[in-house]
Amino acid sequence: NMIEDIFNIIAKSAPSIRHELSTRRGSSNTQNPTGDSQLAADIWADNLFAEKILELDSVGLYASEERENVLTSGDGFSVAIDPLDGSSNLLSNNMIGTIVGVYDSILPTSGRNLIAAAYVLYGPITTMVTAYSGSVNEYVVDQGNLRPLRKGITLPKKPQLYGFGGTENDWTPKFKKYAESIRNEFKPRYGGSLISDVNQILTYGGIFAYPALISSPTGKLRTLFEAHPVAYIIETAGGLSSNGDVSLLDLSPENLHDRTPLYVGNKTLIEELSNL
């Protein structure tokens, strides 16, 4: 199966990524196309994935949060990747991840052209969550091999957590009002890497948001590399995603590195937000 081949390549790379992280925590004194400062590890992981993924006959295009333009190698699926999501967490030894979206179209394109998505979480143990063919599964990555942990994951019915990015004085009045109501009911959990924050929502239920900010109406997160794959996973697990208006999967970014506000989680919580 061509999609499983892509998942396996990502899993096989996880042990070397973990191994190299300790020696590549320094800055590379460069910025990625959306202006984040890059660590040596960001560039190293991007090069590793580009090489391995484009070797697959089924993949024809590789795009990454860490490089300006796409790389092509003929016909096939397009893979969009955030090689090290939350790399600023490396210095403080908090969690980081790898996010991947597999599209049946050249990029940029609508999230409706995703056919699979996955992430690796480099936590106390390395896990991988995949969404494909209507089902979300979680694995332990054991020496590069995928060992099943949970199959057919759905968001817990009773939400428990919330995590909101950005500073409060930069939130819009509408989002502030929403946050007030959520805070009284659920526990705060914010780790600063999208993947660890989303994995908590998938595990315990709740809502994660990186909202539109007054200083940045499109928020911080990138549509193709972060929002689309996360929305695909959360929606396949029975949750909802939104940019405040429509599902994140309905967004067709004009440019590869466009950003979007992001709200994902239990259906009821995302609906409340959209109805404000």
x-marked contacts with ligand AFP along 161-190 as a string, rule CB under 6 A: ----x-------------------------
Q: Which of the ranges 3-11, 108-116, 193-201, 244-252 carries the binding residues for ligand AFP, by CB under 6 A?
A: 193-201
* DSSP labels, 126-178: EEEEEEETTEEEEEEEETTEEEEEESS----SS--EEEE-S-GGGB-HHHHHH
In this structure, the number of other CB atoms found within 10 A of the CB of residue 124 comes to 7
* Residues in 97-156 that interact with ligand AFP by CB under 6 A: none
Q: Which of 158, 117, 147, 122 is nearest to 134 (CA)?
A: 117
Q: Which of the ranges 102-110, 137-145, 192-200, 245-253 carries the binding residues for ligand AFP, by CB under 6 A?
A: 192-200
Least CB distance to ligand AFP at residue 82 (A)? 8
In this structure, the number of other CB atoms found within 10 A of the CB of residue 276 comes to 10
Least CB distance to ligand AFP at residue 255 (A)? 17
Cα(242)–Cα(209) distance, integer angstroms: 9
Torsion sign across C-alpha atoms 99, 188, 272, 214: negative
x-marked contacts with ligand AFP along 26-55 as a string, rule CB under 6 A: ----------x-------------------
Q: Which of the ranges 83-91, 112-120, 138-146, 173-181 carries the binding residues for ligand AFP, by CB under 6 A?
A: 83-91
61 is written with which tokens? 């295009």
Which one, 139 or 208, has the nearer CB to ligand AFP? 208
Least CB distance to ligand AFP at residue 190 (A)? 7
Q: Which residue has the tokens 């040596």?
A: 40
Cβ density class 36-45: b for 16+ within 10 Å, e for less? bebbbbbbbb
Least CB distance to ligand AFP at residue 148 (A)? 26
Which one, 85 or 235, has the nearer CB to ligand AFP? 85
Which one, 182 or 227, has the nearer CB to ligand AFP? 227
The answer to whether 235 and 260 have CB atoms below 8 angstroms apart is no
Q: Which residue has the tokens 């052209």?
A: 113
**Alpha helices in the chain, H assignment, sequence order:** 2-21, 40-54, 173-183, 194-204, 228-236, 267-274
In this structure, the number of other CB atoms found within 10 A of the CB of residue 35 comes to 7
Q: Is 193 in the site for ligand AFP (CB under 6 A)?
A: yes
Q: Which of the ranges 85-93, 109-117, 170-178, 244-252 carries the binding residues for ligand AFP, by CB under 6 A?
A: 85-93
Least CB distance to ligand AFP at residue 194 (A)? 4
Which one, 87 or 137, has the nearer CB to ligand AFP? 87
* Residues in 208-227 that interact with ligand AFP by CB under 6 A: 210, 220-221
Sites of contact with ligand AFP (CB under 6 A) = 36, 85-88, 165, 192-194, 197, 210, 220-221
